[in-house]
Amino acid sequence: MAFITDDYYRDLFENAPTPMFIIDDGLIVEANDAMAKVFKVKSKEEMYKLHPSQLSPKYQADGKTSEEKADELLAKCLKQGFIQFEWLHKDLENKEFLVEVTVKSVIINQKQMFYATFRDITKEKDYEKNLLKKNEKLENKNKYFAEINKILKTDHQWEQLIDKIFLLEEFRKALDESSIVSKTDRKGIITYVNDNFCKISGYEREELLGQSHNIIRHPNTKKEFFKNLWEKITNKEVFKGIIENRKKNGDSYFVDTTIVPILNKNDEIVEFIGIRNDLTAVFEKDKLIYEQFTDDLTSLPNRQRLLDDIKKLVNPKLALINIDRFKDINDAYGFEIGDKILKTLSIRLIQYKSTNLKVYRLSGDVFGLLAYGNISEKELLKTTDSIIHNPLFQKYIVGDYEFDISYTAGIAGHEDKLLTQAEVALQWAKQTHKDIVLFDENMPAYKELRENIELTKQIKNAIENDNILIYGQKIVCNTSSDYKYETLMRLKLEDGTIVSPFKFLNHAKKARLYPLMTRIVIDKACNYFKDKDEEFSINLMIEDIKDRKTIDYLVSKLKETNTAHKLTLEIVESEEIEKFEEVGEFIKEMHKLGCKVAIDDFGTGYSNFEYIIQLKVDILKIDGSLIKNIHINDNLRLTVSTIVNFAKVLNIQTVAEFIHNKEVDDIVKSLKIDYSQGFYHHEPELLN
């Protein structure tokens, strides 16, 4: 006990039969064994560092959230020094109970705290409620007889009696119109149903009369429920509750039900009236919400629920547990076997659940443990370690198969970006082949993530502020003074730095910003060259050709600026060129418009002479890796010579890239390559 130091008072506090606890900064810092017993937790320490609302349902009786209400009451106690109020609590088994709480503002160790105690008043309230009902029933009877006596004593007794009967009939009509109504005899046999009952159940009136309510009973509702219902109403008590029923077609419907025993003058039950309101729409909405936050396979809370809980819980820490090589199991044994392993693992993880540890399934083979309150990072690390090295979690038997499974885990304890940091820790654990890794801001993976986030921000800023620029590099003819331009995308950062696609292109693709950037380049290049005599080229990747929106924009812009006859479209070579049959259709479409088509970076990687013949391109741009060292490597010269001779046979023009000195330039010209491009001839310049 850190807050109660005197031995005598400490013993009184710990051994008191009444639940007691101390609150500091809104969190429970001390509690006695009686409190632990009430909440059905293993030890009182499990409640430390919890906000009182975390031991309560989400809402209190007045509709306010438990968190809001608790903070409001503590503020009131601080002002008044002492308060007493009723509060709805919830134990570890999710059972709610009503208590009367007494809170006193105290100074402990020169610090402002709250001393609280409570007693369960659930039975008291039930007794009080039953007593009020009996009194109300007696009062209603007295009023009824007094009214009848009053009517019979007046001169116009019959007229008033008729009026009362008329009003009663009008009330019955209103009830029939607005509610689902049925009547049964004392044995529960249906004697009356209104139109609404027939409509919602799907039965005709004749099918219902003479039957028991079992005809609409849903198997989801247990027999014990109806046994308790019957005991209540046969004891002359009104039943109120929500019941799931079944329509004639088998569908479910939910009704807020009130069943009233009707008594004669001798206080004997003559029949029962059931009045219901349809709540199906509400339950379907709740079901959708449940499904939105629940994993289908394991019924564990999902990633979305985890993100929601991280925001709500106090001092959250997160461990992500990944099954190693789980894909291999699915590939070798099938998804059915894999799913059974996932379900078994889910059940085993739930065994570790406590008042301040929750289990989630985030994706295929990744599970989450969310600790909160008084659990520290080190304790979560210990728990996670005990799980992944426990033989119970390593051995799985599914049918005739036995599996030995290992795990990798990442843990984070900072509330800000908790899930992201745990994912980074998990990723780093995999990269470094470690079982468990605690998140550290100096991890290379986290530095890379922050750099990527910053780069995304820079790209978005560049798009918004017109800082996606086009540069031009001359492509010079080797037999005349003619030249044309290749337009190159550049990114201007906030500090004025100019960045080439090499640094941002892959990231722009991941951030789904690349298509917009391509369209910006198309727009700027076409507008720049529409009034120029020079020809120009634009780079396109397979992603661009697959994106019909981008191609439609290109076609529209070419027609608007009348630049198709000047344009060469450079398709960056990749493995997908020969696999993606629509490339051929795209080239035909561009040829019809008057454009030329080039294959860029030809000669390395996936180069294939056969598909060049099939695609009918106009230009081959020989990859710079073959050109830049051609003056010192005879094999490169032979390779380039072969490409040039092949192109000449097909009447395809050639361009040599990466010309960086006179020696290379002379060799390129000697090989009869049509065009040259590189810093030796021209450095890229801003086209503005």
Per-residue confidence band for 1, with pLDDT thresholds at 50, 70 and 90: very low
535 plus 653 within the same structural domain = yes
DSSP sequence for 611-627: HHHHHT-SEEEE-HHHH
What does the pLDDT look like over 120-150, one tens digit per residue?
988 888 777 777 776 776 676 566 556 656 6
Q: Check whether 414 has a pLDDT greater than 90.
A: no
Domain membership of residue 388 (yes or no) is yes
What does the pLDDT look like over 282-321, one tens digit per residue?
777 766 767 778 888 998 999 988 998 888 888 899 999 9
Report the distance separating Cα 387 and Cα 428, nearest Å. Answer: 20
354 plus 406 within the same structural domain = yes
Domain final residue, candidates 256, 284, 312: 284
Report the distance separating Cα 300 and Cα 291, nearest Å. Answer: 10
327 plus 407 within the same structural domain = yes
Length of the chain: 688
Domain membership of residue 328 (yes or no) is yes
Region 171-200: mean pLDDT is 84
62 plus 13 within the same structural domain = yes
532 plus 391 within the same structural domain = no
Closest CA to 368 of 41, 90, 383: 383
329 plus 255 within the same structural domain = no
* Interstrand relation of 407-412 and 436-438 (parallel, antiparallel or unpaired): parallel
What is the model's pLDDT at position 159?
Answer: 55
Strands (E) in 310-421, as ranges, are 317-323, 357-363, 366-371, 395-398, 401-404, 407-412
Domain membership of residue 159 (yes or no) is no
DSSP SS3 for 384: helix
The distance in angstroms from the start CA to the end CA of the chain is 74
476 plus 504 within the same structural domain = yes
Domain final residue, candidates 53, 85, 120: 120
CATH code of the domain containing 674: 3.20.20.450
Between 20-29, 339-348, 503-512, 536-545, the lowest mean confidence (pLDDT) is in 503-512
Report the distance separating Cα 31 and Cα 29, nearest Å. Answer: 7
Domain membership of residue 383 (yes or no) is yes
Closest CA to 524 of 649, 688, 281, 404: 688
Report the distance separating Cα 271 and Cα 313, nearest Å. Answer: 51
Task: Work out the percent of the chain whose per-residue pLDDT is above 70.
Answer: 90
CATH code of the domain containing 238: 3.30.450.20
Region 438-452: mean pLDDT is 81
In the chain, the amino acid numbered 509 is: K
Domain membership of residue 133 (yes or no) is no
Closest CA to 96 of 65, 63, 120, 115: 120
Domain membership of residue 253 (yes or no) is yes
Opening angle at CA 210, ends 208 and 213, nearest 5: 60
Q: Which residue has the tokens 């468990």?
A: 436
What is the model's pLDDT at position 530?
Answer: 96
Q: Check whether 615 has a pLDDT greater than 80.
A: yes
DSSP SS3 for 556: helix
208 plus 353 within the same structural domain = no
Report the distance separating Cα 624 and Cα 654, nearest Å. Answer: 13
What is the model's pLDDT at position 451?
Answer: 81
Report the distance separating Cα 524 and Cα 469, nearest Å. Answer: 8
664 plus 559 within the same structural domain = yes
399 plus 499 within the same structural domain = no
Q: Check whether 660 has a pLDDT greater than 70.
A: yes
DSSP sequence for 493-508: -TTS-EE-HHHHHHHH
Q: Check whether 350 has a pLDDT greater than 90.
A: no
Report the distance separating Cα 228 and Cα 221, nearest Å. Answer: 12
Report the distance separating Cα 265 and Cα 267, nearest Å. Answer: 5
What is the model's pLDDT at position 568?
Answer: 98
Residue 483 class from Cβ within 10 Å (0-12 exposed, 13-18 middle, 19+ buried)? middle
Domain membership of residue 435 (yes or no) is yes
Region 316-341: mean pLDDT is 93
Residue 253's domain comprises 179-284
Domain final residue, candidates 284, 312, 329: 284
345 vs 264: which has the higher pLDDT: 345
Domain membership of residue 394 (yes or no) is yes
Report the distance separating Cα 339 and Cα 299, nearest Å. Answer: 12
456 plus 525 within the same structural domain = yes
DSSP SS3 for 21: strand
What is the model's pLDDT at position 488?
Answer: 97
Report the distance separating Cα 602 and Cα 582, nearest Å. Answer: 19
Q: Check whether 186 has a pLDDT greater than 60.
A: yes
DSSP SS3 for 578: helix
Domains in the chain, number: 4
CATH code of the domain containing 381: 3.30.70.270
Region 572-576: mean pLDDT is 70
402 plus 494 within the same structural domain = no
Closest CA to 39 of 108, 99, 85: 99
